[in-house]
Structure 1
């Protein structure tokens, strides 16, 4: 059907019914979302929904990385990167207006991901795969430590951006 419009779909994973209800409340304004109890259920859905002839596009080329859509033009209602906030990857610094602060490798890689897709929720699993290069295990204290440091650096620069926690899911960058 050539008249069909593609609608972005968010797939949320929450093991308990209470977490699924909470995630549904968070995603309530989203045009289309699916909440499942496990990664296996999400994979089953994707296997059934995505034609076998389509080659999956993966982010960063990492094995097991989630498929990502090609970049599209931002709509007016989509969050945008805060103006004048950037990461200089050559010098590994965060720049806001005329101020800069040094970043560690993990801070740089974490913030680089979030700045590349403002408003997008990055799951713990995806962040671990793309920033640390391994699977997310345990309670996530390593991610939370990096988030604390980056938040402190953003506040020190008085940048108009913040990192929001999406409880039990991950993080996203939004203009303050």
Structure 2
């Protein structure tokens, strides 16, 4: 039996979840860069959002009330994994959904491998650039956006129930349609 930080308890695998709380978009981007390597990462803008996501009751009020976030933010929702029928065939460099297939370029393939190996996880621009292009992310990222556009089009052609979702200012993740 190991501890809950990624080990096992009584023979049952336990998944780790890192929850980051940052009130501003700049702080959320920095947190995503810092914790982007975590297998499961959730970034919320307030403690209340984290409690809501975890289903934990709010503690009794304290003498100093917690200020509400300045910008209303949608509550974080758990992201289901992509359907098992969606597969990236690395040997033939194909994307397969049920009985349909579409060819992938090297960049599209490597990009999709990242997103499908950890569905729902946000991949930062920097991390994707390092994994797919093999260099640091510089400039406006038009090269990455071009790949994303082509991958979205191919997912649509296959009628796959997932898409590449942009997390503004942070990166991309695979999400249900």
Structure 2 length as normaliser, TM-score?
0.62
Note if 1:19 corresponds to 2:25: yes
* Structure 1 residue 141: Cα displacement: 0.7
CA–CA distance in 2 between the matches of 1:88 and 1:106?
14
Corresponding residue SS for 2:174? strand
Q: Residues 38 and 79 (structure 1 numbering): CA distance in 2 closer, same or farther, change over 3 Å?
A: closer
* Structure 1 residue 96: Cα displacement: 0.6
Maintained 8 Å contact 2:163/2:176? yes
* Structure 1 residue 82: Cα displacement: 1.9
* Structure 1 residue 81: Cα displacement: 2.5
Corresponding residue SS for 1:174? strand
Supply the RMSD in Å over aligned alpha carbons. Answer: 3.2
CA–CA distance in 2 between the matches of 1:126 and 1:20?
17
Maintained 8 Å contact 2:111/2:128? yes
Maintained 8 Å contact 1:82/1:174? no
Number of aligned residues? 130
Maintained 8 Å contact 1:123/1:169? yes
CA–CA distance in 2 between the matches of 1:151 and 1:5?
36
Tell me what 2:85 maps to.
84
* Structure 1 residue 20: Cα displacement: 3.6
Corresponding residue SS for 2:148? helix
Tell me what 1:130 maps to.
131
* Structure 1 residue 9: Cα displacement: 2.3
Larger Rg: 2
Maintained 8 Å contact 1:89/1:108? yes
Maintained 8 Å contact 1:94/1:102? yes
Gapped regions of structure 2 (runs ≥ 5)? 6-15, 41-77
Q: Residues 38 and 160 (structure 1 numbering): CA distance in 2 closer, same or farther, change over 3 Å?
A: closer
1:118-150: per-residue Cα shift (whole Å, max 9, x none)?
A: 000000000000000000000111110000000
Gapped regions of structure 1 (runs ≥ 5)? 24-34, 47-65, 71-76
Maintained 8 Å contact 2:39/2:118? no
Q: Residues 119 and 144 (structure 1 numbering): CA distance in 2 closer, same or farther, change over 3 Å?
A: same
Note if 1:9 corresponds to 2:18: yes
Corresponding residue SS for 2:113? helix
Q: Residues 138 and 12 (structure 1 numbering): CA distance in 2 closer, same or farther, change over 3 Å?
A: farther
Structure 1 length as normaliser, TM-score?
0.63
